[in-house]
């Protein structure tokens, strides 16, 4: 049986929802392994739109097991709201089809407040976070003061854990002139929802091992994109977790030999939400066309995405860092109206040619893209399901991308509809 990791090869928003939904139909188990409810996946099934933020995409399909791994940070109230929202659309969420790792760390109200305080005070230096407390929650995890799902089992233990974490946070809040956070009120609120969270709690590493022995097909669902990885992305303008494929192992408690195929979701152009370097960004009419035709607004925040040409240098770098076996190319149809289309094939840094993204943000902000230009196809590719039916110039563009990044394109998406996909290789059948 094949087990697949799906990751974004750019800055997120590559269209993972559609691809993950298609794969989850074939999988037995779907697992989120990093991030929090700052990641949004939009699914359209039988005319019903589901906007998932924390729940794995498999939750909307019958007879699938959906899991939140230990690498995810969980806002328990946001999770319960999302469960209520999705159940209102006819989806059942119960202990038979949904599991939360007992080791998952919780996002608490003071994490959200700290996120907002930092962003508001940073001025031009702001990161562009979703202000949902993701970063501060990961900081507490690394600082060994976090509240985990398992801590909700005992009032005595929860009381001690809250004392420890609030010593840290209240010291910072006092220094910033903010009101200290009261422990008792928060403890009462957590104990109230504890039974609803704990009923889903299990040791995920043990369940994954069980599923492996049962030869179930496992789909590891990544959030955001590799260029937002805290180690390998455009630091400090990154998320607070590791978004690379290998974090599927640490974020669920399974060995690397569990994964058989890494699929990188890749947009046919480039977008980015929030602040940070973006070498191929277009601040002209073409950028506006891409944003309008691509409906480039965030699923979670509704923020307008920055748009630019396909950056082959960055995608090739992501492929090497994450061990990507195949690319799912999305939103090809967005380029249909353009007279010419460009691929970044190299950078100019102070007159020197470089073929990778430098690690220093100062250099990332200075580099200038070097392009290879292709003629547009000026006809619709919307809904095409066979590669032979694509316009010749569209095929040339696709093959040029494949040749430059050095990895095969396994599928091509030609509209937001799930069935409007050119399938070249099914990762579950390779």
Q: Which of 96, 177, 111 is nearest to 143 (CA)?
A: 111
Helix pair 183-198, 76-87: axis angle to 10 deg? 40
* Cα first-last separation, the chain: 10
| Residue 202, token pair as written in the block | 């299990």
399-404 long-range contacts, CB within 8 A, separation 24+: 400/343, 400/372, 400/374, 401/268, 401/310, 401/312, 401/315, 401/329, 401/343, 402/327, 404/312, 404/316, 404/343, 404/345
Q: How far apart are CA 138 and CA 144, in angstroms?
A: 10
Residue with tokens 């001025």: 123
* Beta carbons of 227 and 202 less than 8 angstroms apart: no
| Residue 233, token pair as written in the block | 């992305």
- Cis check for the bond before 236: say yes or no (omega within 30 of 0): yes
Torsion of CA 55, 32, 17, 23, to 10 degrees: -110
Find the helix or strand (DSSP H, E) in which 25 lies: helix 16-26
Phi first, then psi, for residue 153 (nearest 5°) are -75, -30
Question: Per the residue annotation, which of 21, 28, 37, 41 is the catalytic one?
Answer: 41
Task: Give the C-alpha distances (Å, rounded to integers) separating 125 from 115, 120, 237, 275, 276.
Answer: 14, 10, 10, 9, 10
Q: Which of 115, 121, 128 is nearest to 272 (CA)?
A: 128
The SS3 assignment for 383 reads coil
Phi first, then psi, for residue 44 (nearest 5°) are -120, 115
The SS3 assignment for 67 reads strand
Phi first, then psi, for residue 240 (nearest 5°) are -105, 10
Q: Active-site residue 37, yes or no?
A: no
Q: Active-site residue 13, yes or no?
A: yes
- Radius of gyration over every alpha carbon of the chain, rounded to an integer in angstroms: 22
Question: Which amino acids are annotated catalytic?
Answer: 13, 41
């Amino acid at each position: 049986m094949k087990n697949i990791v799906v990751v974004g090869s750019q800055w997120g928003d590559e269209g993972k929802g559609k691809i993950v939904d298609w794969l989850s139909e074939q999988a037995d188990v779907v697992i989120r392994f990093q991030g929090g409810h700052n990641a949004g996946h939009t699914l359209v099934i039988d005319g019903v739109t589901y906007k998932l933020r924390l729940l794995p995409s498999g939750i909307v399909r019958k007879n699938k097991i959906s899991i939140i791994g230990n690498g995810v940070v969980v806002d328990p109230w946001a999770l319960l709201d999302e469960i209520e929202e999705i159940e209102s659309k006819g989806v059942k969420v119960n202990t038979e089809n949904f599991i939360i790792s007992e080791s998952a760390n919780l996002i608490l109200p003071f994490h959200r407040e700290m996120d907002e305080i930092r962003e508001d005070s940073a001025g031009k230096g702001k990161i562009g976070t979703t202000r949902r407390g993701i970063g501060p929650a990961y900081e507490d995890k690394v600082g060994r003061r976090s509240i985990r799902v398992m801590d909700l089992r005992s009032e005595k233990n929860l009381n001690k854990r809250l004392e420890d974490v609030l010593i840290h946070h209240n010291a910072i809040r006092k220094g910033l002139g903010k009101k200290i956070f009261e422990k008792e009120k928060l403890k009462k609120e957590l104990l109230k929802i504890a039974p609803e969270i704990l009923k889903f709690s299990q040791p995920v590493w043990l369940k994954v091992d069980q599923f492996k022995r049962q030869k179930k097909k496992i789909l590891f669902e990544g959030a955001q994109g590799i260029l937002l990885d805290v180690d390998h992305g455009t630091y400090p303008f990154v998320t607070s977790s590791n978004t690379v494929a290998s974090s599927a192992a640490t974020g669920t408690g399974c060995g690397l030999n569990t994964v058989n195929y890494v699929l990188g979701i890749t947009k046919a152009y480039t977008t980015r939400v929030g602040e940070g370097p973006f070498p191929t960004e277009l601040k002209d009419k073409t950028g506006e066309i891409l944003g309008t035709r691509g409906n480039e607004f965030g699923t979670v925040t509704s923020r307008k995405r920055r748009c630019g040409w396909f950056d082959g240098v960055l995608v090739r770098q992501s492929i090497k860092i994450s061990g990507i076996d195949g690319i799912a190319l999305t939103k090809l149809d967005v380029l249909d109206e353009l007279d010419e289309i460009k691929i970044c094939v190299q950078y100019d840094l102070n007159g020197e040619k470089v073929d990778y993204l430098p690690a220093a943000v100062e250099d990332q902000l200075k580099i200038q893209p070097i392009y290879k230009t292709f003629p547009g196809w000026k006809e619709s590719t919307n809904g095409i399901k066979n590669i032979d039916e694509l316009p010749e110039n569209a095929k040339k563009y696709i093959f040029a991308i494949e040749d430059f990044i050095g990895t095969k394109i396994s599928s091509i998406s030609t509209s937001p509809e799930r069935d409007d996909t050119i399938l070249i290789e099914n990762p579950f059948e390779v």
